[in-house]
Chains A and B, each alone.
Chain A
Amino acid sequence: MISPVSKIAYCASRTCRFRKPIDVRALLEKGLDELGYRDRIGLVETECLISCFQGPSIMLLPGGKVFQVLSEERFTETLRGLISEPQLPTLPPPGEPRIEPDIPGIEHIDFFAKQRLIVLRNRGHIDAESIEEYIAHDGYLALYKALTAMTPEGVIEEVKLSGLRGRGGAGFPSGTKWEEARKYATFPKYVICNGDEGDPGAFMDRSLMESDPHAVLEGMMVCGYAIGARQGYIYVRAEYPLAIQMLRTAIDRARRKGFLGRNILGTGFDFDIDIYPGAGAFVCGESTALMFSIEGKRGMPRIKPPRSTESGLWGRPTCLNNVETFANIPQILLHGGAWFRSIGMEDSTGTKVFSLTGAVKNVGLVEVPMGTDLRTIIFEIGGGIRGNAHFKAVQLGGPSGGCLTEQHLHLPATFDTLQAAGAMMGSGGVVVMDDTSCMVDVARFFTQFSVDESCGKCVPCRVGLKVLLGMLEKIIVGRGEPSDLDRLERQAVHIAATSHCGLGQAAPNPVLSTLRYFRHEYEAHVREKRCPALVCTDLIRFEVDAEACKRCGVCAKVCPVEAISWRKKEPAVLNRDKCIRCKACIRACKFKAIH
Chain B
Amino acid sequence: MITLKVNGIEVSVPRGSTILQAAEKAGVFVPTLCHDRRITPYGACRLCVVEERRKPGSLIPSCFTPARDRMEILTETPAVLEAVRTQLQLILVNHPLECPICDKAGECTLQDLVIRYNVTEAPFGTEAFARYLDRRSPLIERDMTRCVLCGRCVRICGELQGREELEFQHRGHKMVVGTDGGRALDCDFCGLCVSTCPVGALNDKLFKDGTRVWKLRREPSVCTHCGLACEADFHLEEGQLRRVTPAAPTGNGKGLLCARGQFGWRAFRSPSRIGAPRIRRDGVLHEAGWNEAIAHAAKALDAVRRSHGAASVALLTADHLTTEEAAAWGAFWRDTFGGGPVGSIQADGYRQILETLAGVRGARVAGGTPRDLDEADALVVLGGGSAELHPVLKPLVNGWLRRGGRELAVVSSWPDALTRRATLPLTVTPGLVEDFCGELLAALGSERAGAPADLARYGIDSCALARLVGLLVESRGVVVLVAPEPWGDNRQKARLAAYLQDRVRAVVPLGGQVNSAGAVLGSGLVSDGGAGNGIALTEAIEAGRIRALYLLGEDPLEGLPDPQRVRRALERLDCIVCQSPFWTAVTDLAHAVLPSALLHEKRGSILSLLGESRSLRPVLPPFGQSRSDGEILPGLAAALATGPRVPSAPSMPEPAAPRPAATPAADEAAMPFRLEAVPSLFGDGILSRQSPDLEELRRGLRVVMSGEDFERLGLAERETVEVRTPAGSARAEAERDAGMLKGLLLLRHAAGRPAGLSLIRQGAGCIPADIVRIGT
- Interface residues of chain A, those whose CB is within 8 Å of chain B, are 281, 283, 298, 300, 303-305, 451-460, 462-464, 466-467, 470, 487, 490-491, 494, 497-500
Contact = CB atoms under 8 A, between A and B. Distances in A.
Contact of B173 (A303, A466, A497): A466
Contacts of A298: 167-168
Contacts of B171: 281, 283, 452-456
Interface in B51-91: 57-59, 61, 64, 66, 82-83, 86-87, 90-91
Given A455-B171, A487-B123, A499-B46, A303 B149 contact: no
Given A298-B168, A303-B64, A459-B47, 7 more contacts: A456-B173, A456-B174, A458-B46, A459-B46, A459-B90, A459-B91, A498-B49
B113 to A, nearest CB: 12
Contact of A497 (B59, B125, B151): B59
A460 B151 contact: no
Interface stretch (B37-45, B643-651, B669-677): B37-45
A453 B83 contact: no
Contact of B66 (A281, A305, A462, A466): A305
Interface residues of B, number: 35
13 contacts: A298-B168, A300-B168, A303-B43, A451-B172, A453-B171, A454-B173, A456-B174, A457-B43, A457-B44, A460-B46, A462-B149, A497-B83, A498-B49
B46 A462 contact: no
A498 B83 contact: yes
B124 interface: yes
Given A456-B149, A463-B90, A498 B46 contact: yes
Contacts of A300: 168
B44 A458 contact: yes
Nearest to A496: B59
Contacts of A305: 66
A467 B94 CA distance: 11
A458 B43 contact: yes
A146 B295 CA distance: 95
B170 interface: yes
A500 B43 contact: yes
Contact of A462 (B43, B59, B83, B172): B172
B43 A498 contact: no
Interface in B81-113: 82-83, 86-87, 90-91, 93-94
A466 B171 CA distance: 13
A304 B63 CA distance: 11
A458 B61 CA distance: 12
A500 B172 contact: no
A500 B83 contact: no
A459 B173 contact: no
Contacts of B174: 456
Contacts of A499: 46
B87 A456 contact: no
Interface of B: 41-47, 49, 57-59, 61, 64, 66, 82-83, 86-87, 90-91, 93-94, 123-125, 149, 151, 167-168, 170-175
Q: Which of B58, B149, B172 has the most CB of A within 10 A?
A: B172
Given A463-B90, A467-B90, A498-B87, A452 B172 contact: yes
Nearest to B45: A459
A467 B90 CA distance: 8
Q: Which of A451, A459, A491 has the most CB of B within 10 A?
A: A459
Nearest to B84: A498
State the 9 A-B residue pairs at the shortest beta-carbon distance, nearest first: A456-B175, A454-B172, A303-B64, A463-B90, A498-B46, A467-B124, A303-B43, A466-B173, A456-B172
A296 to B, nearest CB: 12
Given A459-B91, A467-B90, A500 B168 contact: no
Contacts of A497: 57-59, 83
B168 A494 contact: no
Contacts of B41: 303
Contacts of B86: 490-491, 494
Nearest to B57: A497
Contacts of B58: 497
Given A457-B151, A458-B43, A463 B83 contact: no
A375 B149 CA distance: 46
Nearest to A467: B124
Nearest to B124: A467
B87 A460 contact: yes
Q: Which of A452, A462, A464, A490 has the most CB of B within 10 A?
A: A462
Contact of B46 (A281, A454, A456, A500): A500
Contacts of A456: 149, 168, 170-175
Contacts of A460: 46, 87, 90
A463 B173 contact: yes
Given A298-B167, A303-B64, A497-B59, A451 B173 contact: yes
Contacts of A491: 86
Contacts of B90: 459-460, 463-464, 467
A459 B44 contact: yes
A303 B175 CA distance: 19
Contacts of A281: 171
Nearest to B150: A459
